[in-house]
């Protein structure tokens, strides 16, 4: 099934919140960053996926990659992530960070490297999404956008 990736609009907030809730994610501040979400949409204009990229100065934080199970394939997940990285380049972000409980092999294939907390810029550490994972068992990864390709 064909999907189009596009920047979220204000009227997409409710479908974004529904997707997050179904995935068991709590994005209380999604309302404040709707402009930084990308959505995956079917040709029937049904939103079936979201990914957030929250800028913080010259850095960005990837957050909440969700694709409906019926639409998910590894290739579509990879394509969605690549669309978010391309969007980060458009915003002229220097580096993008993400937090994950999953194995990092997937992200390492996209030239992300694992980071220690002390090497994460303060701008990223101050974000509420980052703070909600403090002291939890997550790995931090980063990819330089302007210096090299994360794809």
Which domains are present in the chain? Answer: 3-144 (3.40.630.30)
Residue 106 pLDDT: 76
The answer to whether residues 19 and 47 touch, using CB atoms and an 8 Å cutoff, is yes
The answer to whether residues 27 and 66 touch, using CB atoms and an 8 Å cutoff, is no
Residue 75 pLDDT: 81
CA 39 to chain centre: 11
Q: Which residues of the chain carry a pLDDT beneath 50?
A: none
Residue 63 pLDDT: 87
Residue 80 pLDDT: 86
For 99, the token pair is 């937090």
The pTM assigned to this predicted structure is 0.86
Q: Where on the phi/psi map is residue 10: left (φ > 0), alpha (ψ -120 to 50), or beta?
A: alpha
Residue 137 pLDDT: 86
């Amino acid at each position: 099934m064909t999907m189009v990736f596009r920047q979220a609009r204000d009227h997409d907030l409710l479908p974004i919140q529904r997707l997050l809730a179904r995935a068991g994610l709590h994005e209380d501040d999604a309302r404040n960053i709707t402009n930084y979400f990308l959505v995956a949409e079917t040709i029937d204009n049904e939103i079936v996926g979201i990914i957030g990229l929250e800028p913080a100065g010259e850095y960005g934080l990837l957050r909440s990659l969700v694709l409906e199970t019926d639409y998910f394939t590894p290739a579509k997940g990879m394509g969605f992530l690549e669309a978010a990285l391309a969007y980060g380049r458009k915003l002229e972000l220097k580096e993008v960070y993400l937090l994950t409980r999953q194995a990092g092999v997937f992200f390492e294939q996209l030239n992300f490297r694992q980071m220690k907390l002390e090497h994460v810029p303060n701008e990223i550490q101050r974000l509420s999404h980052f703070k909600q994972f403090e002291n939890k068992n997550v790995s931090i990864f980063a990819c330089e956008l302007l210096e090299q390709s994360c794809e």
